[in-house]
Chain A
Amino acid sequence: MSALQIKKGSSKHSAYNLRPTFSDVQETHTITVLVENEPGVLARVIGLFSGRGYNIDSLTVAEVDHEGHLSRITIVTTGTPQVIEQIKAQLGRIVSVRDVHDLTAEGSSVERELALLKVASTGDKRVEALRLADIFRAQVVDSTLESFVFQLTGTPDKIDAFAELMRPLGLVQVARTGVAALARGKA
């Protein structure tokens, strides 16, 4: 935020307290947005992020209430606390947005992502890939004599870790859905 890039505490060189108005620490938040499922609504949300220079780490969207014409968009984003607050406020003013929740800030939540990973290898590597898949509880959803497609569900960290392990074992392609998330508890 501070245009002058002056470190905290160096204010003795100035007549003013040059403490930045807002913190510079980058935080990652999962934001869930309930929107009216109408044409262009995703473009409105994405356009907001690109137009105002916010980050999208991951984004998922699908209709969740067919009769009510509602879709849920789950966005994982990174920014300073002030930017995260702005993102929520800006999302909230989109006319077709019904509801915005910051799952990271509002108590505990569950986050899941699904990934498909294609691993092509033979011999020991193929055996090792299958053994590791078992440890990670990945399922084999397609197989040839020289390849597997694994399906894995879990947190993004878990999928990262599995993909990292598969890399030397012949990982050729990955497809990930992005994070879907909900707050824990009744409401």
Chain B
Amino acid sequence: MTRQMTGAKMVVQALKDQGVDTVFGYPGGAVLPIYDEIFQQNDIRHILVRHEQAAIHAAEGYARSTGKPGVALVTSGPGATNAVTGLTDALLDSIPIVVLSGQVPTFMIGSDAFQEADTVGITRPCTKHNWLVKETDKLSGILHQAFHVATSGRPGPVLVDIPKDVQFATGDYTPKPQAPIGHYQPQVKGDIETITQLVEAIERAEKPVFYTGGGVINSGPGASHLLRELVEATGFPITSTLMGLGAYPASGKAWLGMLGMHGLYEANLAMHGCDLMINIGARFDDRITGRLDAFSPRSKKAHIDIDPSSINKVIKADMPIVGDVGHVLEDVLKIWKARGRKVNREAIAKWWQQIEEWKKVKCLTYKQSETVIKPQYALERLEALTKGRDRYITTEVGQHQMWAAQYLGFEDPNRWMTSGGLGTMGYGFPASVGVQVAHPEALVINVAGEASWLMNMQEMGTAVQFNLPVKQFILNNERLGMVRQWQQLLHGERYSQSWSEALPDFVKLAEAFGAKGIICKDPKDLDDAIMEMLDHDGPVIFDCLVEKHENCFPMIPSGEPHNKMLLGDAQATNAIAGKGAVLV
């Protein structure tokens, strides 16, 4: 059954059919017909952001915290180009979002019309797929296909570019079940033979480690559940990438903490020394591997990934398994149980003894201060005062992000939203807006640095307008902390342009937007100030003045392997040298 309606109405109808309840967007000339349809209905809530980049990040926050695709609506030209950073961010972190952009009418495309940009051309390399819709009859089918592509296989951002005349014209609406999904049907079941090899390796392994990533979270809560079962049953230690935090609970007894450049000593040494590495939904990112030719030199590596192009891209997999994490883990457990639940208990106990030795290094120790708030201390207190609450954390990018990953504990998936792959400063605030919209009753905190936060500070308007009680926890060191740290380590302490000069008074800034501002600079006042933030029913900017030249440790310097970690300032002078200096 098909129905006749305008293209603009089709957009709203297709979103409803897809179960969309929220759209983040910003109007403009080329999307006015769609905005007119949004005005005339109440099923879909529109959140008006203050910049299109923020619409995309908010949609990402919504998607990551719910597991559903996020939706954003932007106008042509600058609306679409402003979306590019968010699209790239979602592409690198495999976040399912559907972006709808307006376009000049079809008969004006190519004429350098007002607010015209080659949106599909510009966004081709930063989307999983995109479409320019030239006929209203095809619009609804493409919209349904867009949701299918965004959420199937390795999730990612898609964009549908809709010219204004296509929005005005009338055509046939294709309902979701009749929509042509196309031939895009990625494989979800892993190869049983290779899975059996992995089970055999699990039975024999003496020094195994699970290395998990964002793929576990993307695979859904079922995958996290299966992962927990497998970890508990085997007793193998588990570490995770930045993107995978929460898939296994931080309070779990097999948890080693995050790995990688700023990962924990015990996690990185376990990766270096293991004889069996089981990569589940991670992609051997350069933040994880360090020096490739010295990466975990003695291990057999299993790699479970839904994207065949992730396998053997940087690290050769001995047991490559293409499939969805949930499906593959189900098969691993089934086969392992059927074969008698065997593991080499004696060797694993010895391996744990070794890991306990590494843990004794206490790599997250920092020098406490009576007079200045240490950023690590601020996060420890934030963790202590919010633990057990219905809490979601977003972050910006930089030192504060790494400290948040180190000092905050995540018990469940979808609770941690951060820009991992692209490292987008300005991600955290709009993402927190998206999370809060999806979870109105939850505590949503954006752990930020002052420099990152300023990149999308205009979203205070959104937070206040929609009464979103997001807590902006800014670790203010008046520096681009990570840049400054690298300049110290690599560029002879010449701190080129890494100072935040002329910072606003964050309390007054909050008040100017009609929100609450809190400033705290004394460690003794910190707990009370955090409680004041938590108790306030509304958006808060928390200006936490912290130690200015604190460095983020532990750290694997560029070009070094996992076992060459820096643990503190004493080791850090000119730590990055030679070939490592060219790496970022």
- Residues on A lying within 8 angstroms of B by beta carbon are 1-4, 6, 16-18, 20-22, 36, 39-40, 43-44, 47, 51, 82, 85-86, 89-90, 92-96, 98
Contacts and interface: CB of A to CB of B under 8 A. Distances in A.
Contact of A93 (B120, B291, B307, B316): B307
Interface stretch (B125-133, B188-196, B339-347, B541-549): B125-133
B291 A96 contact: no
Contact of A47 (B124, B129, B184, B315): B124
B497 interface: no
B313 A86 contact: yes
Give the contact-size bracket for chain B: 20 to 34
Nearest to B152: A95
Interface string B168-195: 0000000000000011100000000000
Contacts of B183: 36, 98
B186 to A, nearest CB: 8
Contacts, number: 63
Nearest to A95: B129
Contact of A3 (B125, B132, B559): B559
Contact of B292 (A17, A21, A44, A86): A21
Given A4-B293, A90-B309, A93-B309, 5 more contacts: A3-B293, A40-B120, A40-B121, A40-B124, A94-B129
Given A3-B579, A89-B308, A95 B293 contact: no
B440 interface: no
B113 interface: no
B577 interface: no
A contacts with B: majority SS = loop
Most buried by A among B125, B154, B559: B125
Contacts of A95: 128-129, 149, 182, 184
A160 to B, nearest CB: 33
B contacts with A: majority SS = loop
A26 to B, nearest CB: 18
Interface of B: 120-121, 124-125, 128-129, 132, 149, 153-154, 182-184, 291-294, 297, 307-309, 311-313, 315-316, 559, 561, 579
Contacts of A2: 292-293
Given A40-B124, A44-B124, A95-B184, A20 B312 contact: no
5 contacts: A4-B579, A18-B293, A18-B294, A47-B124, A89-B311
A16 B293 contact: yes
B124 A39 contact: no
A21 B125 contact: no
A43 B184 CA distance: 19
A92 B309 contact: yes
A4 B307 CA distance: 29
Contacts of A18: 293-294
A89 B309 CA distance: 5
A43 B309 CA distance: 20
Most buried by B among A2, A16, A98: A16
Contacts of A3: 291-293, 559, 579
Most buried by A among B149, B184, B309, B311: B309
A17 B297 contact: yes
B184 A16 contact: no
A32 B184 CA distance: 19
